[in-house]
Amino acid sequence: MSNDNDRPPISRPLKVEEIRDGASGVIDATQSEMADIARMLDLVGLAALAFTYRLHHGGGGRLRLTGRLKASLTQTCVVSLDPVEASIDVPVEVEFWPVSMIEELEQAAEEPGGSGRLDWPEPIAGGKIDLGPAIYETLATALDPYPKREGVSFDWSQGAPDGDRAGGTSPFAALAELKRR
């Protein structure tokens, strides 16, 4: 990776050869990682980020991860710009495949009638997997894209209501006026 922008905000590499079937663990993000993630996801704050997981071996050198991501965070209200507290608790499922199998899958997907797979597996590269990107991506997709404080509404108006246009203030009245000239 050439610079800090290429560095993932959270990284937890594991050596595949050291992972026993059914291995489990808990990852708690550090303050520094949470600050980086909050900055990258444009959050007001990220107070807690925890990931519990279990790994199972599959055929062909594949791994299957199941787990749960929990986070306490603060977003910005899209209406009032006030802080909005939120809690996230979502299940996580990720497959890790050897790079060669992913390349085969990509080639098959390019062919007519390809797999059309929606969730691509993560790579097992250099005999390692990294749980960090799965944590970050899961959090990013679980965020409310339009957070809104309770009781706040957005009332849109574009000029006067139809009944008040008798004074010739509508765009059509202005065009009619131009046509008369």
Give residue for tokens 């608790």.
Answer: 89
Residue 26 falls within a domain, yes or no?
Answer: yes
pLDDT at 74: 98
Arithmetic mean of pLDDT, 139-160? 82
Residue 180 lies in a domain: no
In a domain, 160, yes or no: no
Alpha helices of the chain — where are they, by DSSP H? 31-40, 99-110, 132-142, 171-180
Tell me the H-state helices in 63-170: 99-110, 132-142
**Rounded mean pLDDT of the chain?**
86
Tally the domains of the chain: 1
Considering the domain boundaries, does residue 130 fall inside one?
A: yes
Do residues 102 and 94 make contact, with C-beta atoms less than 8 angstroms apart?
no
| Rounded Cα gap, residues 65 and 136, in angstroms | 15
From CA 36, how far away is CA 179, in angstroms rounded? Answer: 59
Domain extent for 29:
4-105+113-155
0.85 exceeded by the pTM?
Answer: no
**pLDDT at 142 (0 to 100):** 97
